[in-house]
Amino acid sequence: MISGGGTGGHIYPAIAIAHAWAERYPESEILFVGAEGKMEMQKVPEAGYTIEGLPVAGLQRRLTLQNLSFPFKLWDSINKAKKLIKRFKPHAVVGVGGYASGPLLYVAQQQGIPTLIQEQNSFAGLTNKLLAKKARAFCVAYEGMEKFFPADRIYFTGNPVRKDILDLGAKKEQALSHFGLEAGRQVVLVLGGSLGARTINNAVVASMKHFEEQGYQVLWQTGKFYIEEMTAKLVSAGLAHVHALEFIREMDLAYAAADLVVSRAGALSVSELSLVGKPVIFIPSPNVAEDHQTKNALACVEKDAAVLLSDDEAVEGLVGKVDGLMADPEGMERLGKNIKKMGKPDAAREIVKKLEALIK
């Protein structure tokens, strides 16, 4: 059983683990458990797996009416988790973080079923920290995680990511054609997540005229909340080499086209970009628990593997960071090589090996 979700940063690693397990043990059964109404309830079936939803909800950090219902939803979720485990009889349970994983892993641990926690971030999430005492193994993507988990049960596997980004060299021409980009212009790929990031979008709006004058072209994922607003600003500016898209499905082609990437610093983004091996400017979101995106980005910056631009300086500072890197091809190459050294292309298979050991 695999449990967790709430965001793509939890869901996609979970699906990658499931794929790796199914590849090795095609006859085995896999059941996902998520939170009712959250994106995993759509994304997991799309990937070909069965999922059950729990009524669990997150605890708000401020006093709200939603918090009053939290104990009742948690109690209901624990009872449903007991019924699911009794019916499915799992040999092992994997938690990928997010409050959705709490009830299932708690019940599994109470019943002596081996549990493995996959922590994507450099700062462990609350649910994973609460479940740490009885978990048998922790598969992590960053060094120094003994601050949160017992050192003798930590395995440095990296984060599981999609396989199609592992070989981008042969896709450059296809990528330029797919997105309607010109072969002679350097490409800045801008990513703010599937929903979008207002600061990053505003930074592009403030910079896009300059970028075009400099001879760059921009491939820009605005996110679904901002596509109409950003498209209107783009049309009014009359720029031919800035391409705004709501969401980019063909991320392998987007990465292949890019000379430089501007991105948030969610754990999954950092792990993917480590495999891509392109120079990156990280603009961490300040609106996440424990400011973990900044910690993720700093883990790269400390190894001369990325550039950090704070959210509050992004609108005014993006032009300077991009121009500085574009004028320094050797520096861009160095950043790309260094971030690639941090990549873990076999993360999902390594996690499967740990699961095998727990079950045996």
Closest to 33 (Cα-Cα) out of 91, 85, 110: 85
Is 267 annotated for ligand binding?
A: yes
CB contact at 8 A, 323 and 308: no
Between CA 186 and CA 215 the distance in angstroms is: 7
Residue 121 annotated in ligand binding: yes
Rounded to the nearest 10 degrees, how much is the dihedral formed by the CA atoms of 335, 138, 105, 57? -30
Give 93's strand partners. Answer: 115
Concatenate the DSSP letters of all residues of 113-134 into one string. --EEEEE-SSS--HHHHHTGGG
Sign of the Cα pseudo-torsion (7, 10, 16, 19, in order)? negative
127 among the known binding-site residues? Answer: no
> Left, alpha or beta for 248 (phi > 0: left; psi -120 to 50: alpha)?
beta
Determine whether the annotation assigns residue 269 to a binding site: yes
Would you state the structure tokens that stand for residue 205, as one six-digit string? 């709006």
Q: Check whether 192 is labelled as a binding-site residue.
A: no
Query: Helix-strand-coil percent breakdown of the chain, rounded to 5?
Result: 50, 15, 35
212: annotated binding-site residue?
no
Q: Is 115 annotated as a binding residue?
A: no
**271 belongs to an annotated ligand binding site:** yes
Q: Is 194 annotated as ligand-binding?
A: yes
What is d(CA 360, CA 350) in angstroms, rounded to the nearest whole number? 16
* Distant-in-sequence, close-in-space partners of 272: CB < 8 Å, separation ≥ 6: 161, 162, 165, 251, 255
Residue 118, annotated as binding a ligand: no
285-302: string of b/e by CB count within 10 Å (b at 16+)?
beebeeebbbbbbbbbee
- Residue 85 annotated as binding site: no
87 is in an annotated binding site: no
| First-to-last C-alpha distance (Å) of the chain | 16
Rounded Cα–Cα distance for residues 162 and 7 (Å): 16
Q: List the binding residues.
A: 7-9, 121, 162, 194, 248, 267-272, 293
Q: List the binding residues for UDP-N-acetyl-alpha-D-glucosamine.
A: 7-9, 121, 162, 194, 248, 267-272, 293
